[in-house]
Structure 1
Amino acid sequence: MKVAVYYPWVYLRSGIERSIIELKRRSRHEIAIYTNHYDPEGTFPDLKEMAVTELSRVSVERSYAAVGQAALSIARTKIPDGHDVLLVCCDGLGPLLTFRNRSIPAVNLCFTPLRAAYDDAYRERLLARDGASRRPAKIAAEAAFRALDRLAWRNFASVISIADTVTRRITENRLYPASGITVAYPGIEPLAALPEAEPEPMFLIPGRIMWTKNIELAIEGFRRFHDAAPPELKRFRLHVAGMVDAKSRPYFAKLQALAEGCPAIAFETSVSDARMQALYASAWAVLAPAFNEDFGLTPLEAMAQARPVLASDRGGFRETVLDGLTGLLVEPEPAAFAEGLRKLADNPELTRRLGRAGPARAAEFTWARFVDTIDVSLDAVRQDVRQGSR
């Protein structure tokens, strides 16, 4: 079966791009990748060998005007003929593609509906960024988008959600009935061997450096921990490692200012896959402070490396991190993060125990299972189309 996989912007090293790579590698179907914005230098090098086709180009800017223009362009985009099924990778605008492509059955691989419209935690933070004067116009834009988006969601033959957190976001906003949604958790690559070296006194925040990751929470929590730490715990440091795309540079500057004056906090923004694996292996624990993550691969990657996770007790982290067994789930407040850091730093046995339980938990989330679930859903849609045409 020939499957057109579409994602509006393939330009980062995010979980969506990684999922597309694994789908292309592992699916039993013939996969063609389409996008409206492709940056081969900014995303994973693996995609260069996968013949990504860029259609009419859209901006990756996240202002309301730019997103509106991108939405119009996506709604006018036509996928080339010759495909049996269209798989739309959705984190917001992707469903609009279905308006021009109704001749082909469509499946929604939903990483999240547009968070600016459907995630209250995200939405309130976004509305507050530009002050009260622009709030009415933003709310009106959201209402217009939701009306259009709900029409687009009607074009899907089925929906695959990456987590129960995302499924709830879909159903609570009446985008699609729960009976038509299948959950397929993204996965990780199993490790051939666990780290042999003892961990260093280093807390790691891995992954993209952007405002939704709420990294300031971990920095503030670490500074509280470090300021109050007894001399024997002053050796601990915080390492933030991940890419910074153009639109996130002001946020990165804010984080640097927040860390100023604390030499125990370091940033690393050019990180290869090998370097990131080395950082995981040497970390005392991995921090996940995002305020309402859809799912999040970094906790799984940490647990696969037998490293405990300290995460916000919100969103998708609740679906992967087992509180008290593979890590600690805490309230997304600086004081709670500071206390979690103290517990881990001051109790090596607790840290080792939480870490030892991680690999077995991480092994429950595999790319093979993820892709197989998608393949089965695609087969079912294709079969329904064939039966309907008889």
Structure 2
Amino acid sequence: MRIAIYHNLLSGGAKRALYEETRRLSANHQLDVFTLSSANHEFADLRPYVARHQVYDFQPGALLNSPFGRLNQAIRQADLQRLRSLARRIAQDIEAGNYDLCFVQPCQYESSPSILSYLQHLPTVYYCHEPLRRMYEEMPLRPYENSDSTLRKTLDRFDPLIASYQHALKNNDRKNLRSANLILVNSEFIRNSVRSIYQAEAQVSYLGVDVDWFRPLTEPKQDFVLSVGSLTPLKGFDFLINALALIPEVQRPILVIASNFQNPPEKTYLEQLAQSQKVDLKLEGNVSEERLVQLYNQAKIAVYAAIREPFGLVPVEAMACGTAVVAIRDGGVQETILDGETGLLVARDPEKFAAALQKLLSNPELAQEYGHNGRTHILNHWTWDKANQTLENYLTSV
């Protein structure tokens, strides 16, 4: 088939997934990429695997500082309109290219991109990694956001620019998603979310892990537990700090957090929390793929406490490296971790999480057994080759 791929993705799990899918699809299909200059093209670079890589110029409007910050909602709404206009043009270019279908990825600004609404004469398959979460979920509160929270919330409630932008964003996202011929999602958890939020049906096409890269090494285990992800509130790193603080200090391991994106206020908040809780926290930024594999192998346990995480690449990467996982029983990780076989799933309760950690820390043989089981589990069920076969079957069905 001739497949057009559209994306406006930053670095991260969604772009890495698209890279793995593109790499494998290119063996049997001709692929062309249509993307925006605002996307990240260097991370998980698609260009070696596609015949054409068309970049359209788009940059969001510059946002204003206080006291004019409330005008930023109008700037964002203008960006949304510019994206719609650009999407119409890109759709025309794609439809002129005689493709069999367009494989559409999320947009960092729109969530479900407007190109889905403008592609009228070509089948579209939209991979929805997650809903527009900030519009439908309560976000975790942070002290650095609460200095004038009462006044700010009151003003926000009556601010017509905020209401107008949020209304436009939600309607745009809903309309675009429901325009897709086929919606794919990365977990049953997100399938249920799409049904609940958008009243739309989706099919599960699981992600995978590169088992040749994420693999056991001969690295000796060191006295730390590892978590991975952007330093943002939804990753639940504060929960991990509070849980580790409940482990007796003489037994308490170091907490290493590896990330590529570090939100400065969140970084400061986590550092101050760790200091107050007497938890030894080490933050590693700009972590290379080589270093990440090394960390997974050196960690005694991988720990994961993300809030309503759609899929969760971290647990499957850890298991692929032969490391046991302790995670919150929440979101998509419930579908990848075998509780009591490859790791432990516990409620979002610091005491229960600390107890689960201590169970494995005090029994290295059990942790090793879980790690071995995890590697076998990944090889049998969670390789990218297996995931891509499912994806390819869906693409050829539309």
* TM-score normalised by the chain length of structure 2: 0.82
- The 5-angstrom pairing of residues 1-390 of structure 1 reads 1-9=1-9, 11-12=10-11, 14-27=12-25, 28-36=28-36, 37-40=38-41, 43-44=43-44, 46-47=45-46, 49=48, 52-59=53-60, 68-76=77-85, 77=87, 78-79=89-90, 80-81=93-94, 82=97, 83-90=99-106, 93-118=111-136, 120-122=137-139, 132-133=153-154, 134-135=156-157, 141-177=165-201, 181-191=202-212, 194-225=216-247, 228-229=248-249, 231=250, 233-234=251-252, 236-244=253-261, 248-260=263-275, 262=278, 264-363=280-379, 364-381=381-398
- Cα distance in structure 1, aligned partners of 2:41 and 2:198: 36
- Cα distance in structure 2, aligned partners of 1:60 and 1:254: 29
The answer to whether the 8 A contact 1:290-1:312 is kept is: yes
**Which runs of 5 or more residues in structure 1 are unaligned?**
382-390
- What per-residue deviation string (whole Å, max 9, x for no partner) do you get for residues 193-242 of structure 1? 633344222100123332221211112222232xx24x3x24x2111111
- Cα distance in structure 2, aligned partners of 1:237 and 1:65: 45
Partner of 2:69: none
Instruction: Quote the offset at 1:35 in angstroms.
Output: 2.5
Counterpart amino acid of residue 187 in structure 2? A
DSSP 3-state at the match of 1:290: coil
Structure 1 consecutive aligned stretches of length 4 or more whose deviation exceeds 4 Å: 60-67, 128-131, 135-144
Counterpart amino acid of residue 156 in structure 1? A
DSSP 3-state at the match of 2:209: coil
Q: Percent same amino acid among aligned pairs?
A: 25
- Cα distance in structure 2, aligned partners of 1:223 and 1:22: 38
The answer to whether the 8 A contact 1:98-1:155 is kept is: yes
Instruction: Quote the offset at 1:187 in angstroms.
Output: 0.3
Instruction: Quote the offset at 1:258 in angstroms.
Output: 2.0
Counterpart amino acid of residue 22 in structure 2? K
Partner of 2:68: none
DSSP 3-state at the match of 1:173: helix
RMSD: 2.8
Name the stretch that deviates more: 278-287 or 329-338: 329-338
- Number of residue-to-residue matches in the alignment: 364
Partner of 1:385: none
DSSP 3-state at the match of 1:94: coil
* TM-score normalised by the chain length of structure 1: 0.83
- What per-residue deviation string (whole Å, max 9, x for no partner) do you get for residues 96-121 of structure 1? 22233323221111111211234x35
**Which runs of 5 or more residues in structure 2 are unaligned?**
64-71
Instruction: Quote the offset at 1:189 in angstroms.
Output: 1.1
Partner of 1:384: none
Closer, same or farther in 2 for the Cα pair 1:67/1:318, shift >3 Å? farther
- Cα distance in structure 2, aligned partners of 1:48 and 1:155: 28
DSSP 3-state at the match of 1:224: coil
